Amino acid sequence: MSAKPKFDAAPSEQMALFERGAVAIHTREELAKKVERACETGRALRVKLGMDPTAPDIHMGHTVVLRKLRQFQDMGHKAVLIIGDYTALVGDPSGKSKTRPMLGPSEIEANVKTYLDQVGKVLDVAALEIRPNSEWFSKMSFREVLELASAGTVAQMLARDDFRGRYEAQTPIGAHELLYPLMQGRDSVEIEADVELGGTDQTFNLLVGRDMQKAAGAEPQVALTVPLLVGLDGTEKMSKSLGNYIGIDEPAAEIFGKAMSLADSMMADYFTLLTEVPESEFKGLIESDPRAAKERLGIEIASQYQGAEAAKAAAEEFRRVFSRRQAPEEMPTVACTESTVMGYVVQAGHAKSNSEARRLIEQGAVSIDGDKCTDPARVVPLKAGGVTLRTGKRRWARLVPE
């Protein structure tokens, strides 16, 4: 996405772009008026996106809303990225069935660094306004915290699906969790947001921001929501904790390989949410040649984050390994002590525990030098030149004696 001159596009063109891929806009009429006013006055809209650094990496699910924020940037508006170093202390309860553990300051600090390194792969960082919400929350007195808490009611919070479900199931709800929507809303007041972006699971929080701005005597922000990207498992929202994610910092071969593992039914959504390929182009390709469509998707995504050459090489390597049944030209070399098949899988880092390794072996996912191994206790001697371990479809290692 290349940057454009400020307000180079007419309001109607901007609106068409902003509406594309959006699930809901609260309200479209307000956004249209804000865009028209911006073009008339030359004052860019302040478009807010909040990200809590609760995990060390950004995955493709995060890029859906980041790409929408980049569209606002490309139209000349001001993107404001809120780094929720204080809201991360609470943890967003949206869509959660239990209280999230509180992160320590060192974890948050480390995650912030990786977030800022990675968002530059989608956003124009030079034009980005970055604001940690510790900027205002760390200065609050307890009286001010009480005033913040008074901006919402318990009944209002329990109207949320996630809180209501937990309350009815008698699952504990921490009192601090009730503050989260109010903290996110206060962010909007502090940075004078005109628009706030978020996934569909953020609708409640975004609307709280509107209410808090109204209460503060400010013009309420427009809340624009985008779809949640379903993970590789085809059922749950993409999440690192569920292991169903594609990380933007992963090697091109890993990104491409994961794209190739997608179910055919998921490809249209991935093309729509993660690429610029026109629907008229990918729809026909999916219908006529699903495998070719999957390769195109993998190359498009890998190119964005690891470069066109790396994506092309990843595609060729995938074809060589999986279509021609050959081992990859490059694989990690692991010095091992002679062991059972189960021990090799763990030593190679292909499983975190003996029990996980045992499960993979018994499922037929492990082979050594092309020989499928189904007995976890089988002892395989290490040759002087090493042996080739394959676990699943994409994990390889050359095991050599220590």
For domain 11-226, give the CATH number. 3.40.50.620
> Is the confidence at residue 36, as pLDDT, over 60?
yes
The model's confidence at residue 239, banded by pLDDT at 50, 70 and 90, is confident
pLDDT on residue 329: 67
Q: What average pLDDT does the segment 25-50 reach?
A: 96
Q: What is the mean pLDDT of the segment spanning 372-400?
A: 86
Decide which of 76 and 165 is more confident.
Answer: 76
pLDDT in tens, 124-135: 999 999 999 999
Average pLDDT rounded to a whole number, residues 9-27: 93
- What's the confidence (pLDDT) of residue 99? 55
Residues 170-195 pLDDT 10s: 888 888 888 889 999 999 999 999 99
pLDDT at 313: 92
Helix (H) or strand (E) holding 25: strand 24-26
CATH for 333-401 (3.30.70.20, 3.40.50.970, 3.10.290.10, 3.30.420.10): 3.10.290.10
Strand 195-199: give its sheet, edge to edge: 24-26, 222-226, 195-199, 46-51, 78-83, 129-132
pLDDT tens profile 304-349: 999 999 999 999 888 877 655 566 767 888 998 888 999 999 999 9
User: Domain 252-323 is classified in which CATH homologous superfamily?
Assistant: Tyrosyl-Transfer RNA Synthetase (1.10.240.10)
Q: What is the DSSP string of 294-323?
A: HHHHHHHHHHHHH-HHHHHHHHHHHIIIII
By the 10 Å C-beta count (0-12 exposed, 13-18 middle, 19+ buried), 336 is classed as buried
Cβ atoms < 10 Å from Cβ of 199: 20
> Which pLDDT value is given to residue 5?
46
Q: Domain extents for the chain? A: 11-226, 252-323, 333-401
Q: Among 204-218, 232-246, 264-278, whose mean pLDDT is lowest?
A: 232-246
Question: What tokens does 243 get?
Answer: 């292991």
- pLDDT tens per residue across span 91-121: 666 655 455 566 677 778 878 788 888 899 9
- Average pLDDT over the chain, rounded to an integer: 88
